[in-house]
Amino acid sequence: APASKLLADAPYAEHLTAAIGELHAARLPPADDARWRRAVVEHVNSIAARLWRGAQVRMFGSSASGLHTRGADLDLCLLPPRPPHINAARRMISSIGVELEAQGMLEVLPLPSARVPIVKFVDRASRLQCDICVNNLLALNNTALLGAYARADGRVRPLVATVKYWAAQRKVNEPYRGTLSSYAYVLLMIGYLQTTDPPVVPSLQQLGRLDGVERIVDGYDVWFCDDPGAHGWSGSANTQSIGELLLGFFARYATEFDDAKHVVSVRLGRMLERAGKVWGEQQTAAARKGRRADRHLFCIEDPFEITHDLGRVMDTTSLGWTRAEFSRAHALMQARAPLAEVCAAWSDA
Ligand code: 3AT
Ligand code: MG
């Protein structure tokens, strides 16, 4: 395969490795970033505690997993003492919106009737773009899982930063336009790193799991191993450079992953056959009835909420854009293009 020929092209892989290192360093958050983020959490926490006795605010998303880059948003989750009914959650979003406004926060936008009620705002002091949701326990847990992957191998962070940057530059990281979320790209990268030979990271949901052990949150099993070293993982036997791995990532999704047949499953650490998932069957049933198949065109299984397909945001058009970008990146890398060209800003000129 062309991919394996390229993997042997040492000078090009070395260029990529150096360029990824530089890009990652340049995209790292500024030195005082963590302090700013903590200050916002404390501020919002004090607002919440004043409004509801015993309520707390937690950080999640990339700021909490360590997979954030310069300028990433700040994802916050309000935890009331007891799980609120959806209507109570909607009222909480409205109330905290009023209070954020009163405290001088900028661009406060409460969206209490959204499927997932949130309030968006910009923190006045740090100018960080923030989102608050209510009692999103699965998101807190999937953040912890991604954080454990980030710590499992030093190659995860620079590779994730590069793919997020590439996807943003190429305009295929815009869920409101039907392309994948950052979270979905992180799962694609982890899914790839679990299935290299040998793997760069194990499946933390399988490693060291004793029979019958589970931890149920909101109806889903969120157990994972957060200390792989203590469970027989003595580091990866894979010695590939980050340059070679980035090549392999694009080769995987441009040429090897067959979206008609496969599902990306970070939970199992391997590519699943679609036939075994209910989405495969839904699609067949829809096709049989002559309806356009329900959108499961490129399946990425959520690690915990296994009925949730992160690829579902894509329709045939946005999947077309995304596929074209994977192919473009792969083709440029086959032609040994510099990383800057692979990640060049998209333009319709
Ligand atoms: P950025 O660095 O902000 O681009 P992120 O990982 O923080 O990346 P988002 O801000 O898009 O990603 O999302 C914040 C978190 O919300 C990530 C994940 O814990 C959760 N999340 C986002 N989208 C989904 C989803 N579709 N299903 C489940 N959890 C999700
Ligand atoms: Mg975020």
- Given the candidates 2.170.190.11, 3.30.460.10, 3.40.50.300, 3.90.79.10, the CATH classification of the domain at 33-136 is 3.30.460.10
DSSP string over 287-311: HHTTSPPPS-SSEEE-SSSTT-BGG
What's the whole-number mean pLDDT along residues 333-345? 97
146 lines ligand 1 (CB under 6 A): no
Distance 84 CA to ligand 2 centre (A): 24
pLDDT tens per residue, range 123-150? 999 999 999 999 999 999 999 999 999 9
Q: Look at ligand 1, atom 22, and give the residue with the nearest C-alpha.
A: 183
pLDDT in the model for residue 121: 98
* 113 close to 90: Cβ distance less than 8 angstroms: yes
Asked whether the predicted pLDDT for residue 287 surpasses 90, the reply is no
CB proximity list for 177: less than 8 A, separation 6 or greater:
171, 318
Query: Which of the ligands is closest to the CA of residue 74?
Result: 2
Q: What is the pTM of this model?
A: 0.94
12 lines ligand 1 (CB under 6 A): no
Share of the chain above pLDDT 90, in %: 89
19 lines ligand 1 (CB under 6 A): no
pLDDT in the model for residue 56: 97
Distance 72 CA to ligand 2 centre (A): 6
173 lines ligand 1 (CB under 6 A): no
Task: Tell me the C-alpha distance between 208 and 203, whole Å.
Answer: 10
Between 268 and 280, name the one with better pLDDT: 268
Distance 180 CA to ligand 2 centre (A): 13
Asked whether the predicted pLDDT for residue 278 surpasses 50, the reply is yes
Query: Residue 295: which pLDDT band, with cuts at 50, 70 and 90?
Result: confident
pLDDT in the model for residue 282: 61
Please give the C-alpha separations between residue 286 and each of 290, 293, 312, in angstroms, as whole numbers: 6, 5, 15
Domain boundaries, the chain: 2-26+140-342, 33-136
What's the whole-number mean pLDDT along residues 320-344? 97
- Which residue in 270, 324, 325, 261 sits closest to 296, CA to CA? 261
- Which residue in 161, 151, 194, 171 sits closest to 20, CA to CA? 161
Q: Look at ligand 1, atom 26, and give the residue with the nearest C-alpha.
A: 310
Query: Which of the ligands is closest to the CA of residue 303?
Result: 1
What's the whole-number mean pLDDT along residues 54-63? 97
Single-letter amino acid, residue 331: A
141 lines ligand 1 (CB under 6 A): no
Query: Residue 277: which pLDDT band, with cuts at 50, 70 and 90?
Result: confident
SS3 266: coil
Query: Residue 20: which pLDDT band, with cuts at 50, 70 and 90?
Result: very high
What's the whole-number mean pLDDT along residues 2-26? 83
pLDDT tens per residue, range 143-187? 999 999 999 999 999 999 999 999 999 999 999 999 999 999 999
Q: Look at ligand 1, atom 19, and give the residue with the nearest C-alpha.
A: 139
- Which residue in 203, 193, 207 sits closest to 240, CA to CA? 193
Q: Look at ligand 1, atom 15, and give the residue with the nearest C-alpha.
A: 61
Task: Tell me the C-alpha distance between 233 and 199, whole Å.
Answer: 11
Domain 2-26+140-342, classified CATH 1.10.10.10, yes or no: no
75 lines ligand 1 (CB under 6 A): yes
Query: Residue 293: which pLDDT band, with cuts at 50, 70 and 90?
Result: low
Single-letter amino acid, residue 134: V
Task: Tell me the C-alpha distance between 163 and 166, whole Å.
Answer: 5
Mean pLDDT computed over every residue of the chain: 93
Q: Which atom of ligand 1 is nearest to the CA of 308?
A: 27
179 lines ligand 1 (CB under 6 A): no
153 lines ligand 1 (CB under 6 A): no
Query: Residue 247: which pLDDT band, with cuts at 50, 70 and 90?
Result: very high
Distance 174 CA to ligand 1 centre (A): 12
pLDDT in the model for residue 30: 94
129 lines ligand 1 (CB under 6 A): no
Distance 71 CA to ligand 2 centre (A): 10
191 lines ligand 1 (CB under 6 A): no
pLDDT tens per residue, range 69-121? 998 999 999 999 999 999 999 999 999 999 999 999 999 999 999 989 999 99
Query: Residue 1: which pLDDT band, with cuts at 50, 70 and 90?
Result: very low
Task: Tell me the C-alpha distance between 81 and 43, whole Å.
Answer: 19
pLDDT in the model for residue 274: 87
CB proximity list for 188: less than 8 A, separation 6 or greater:
163, 180, 249, 253, 264, 300
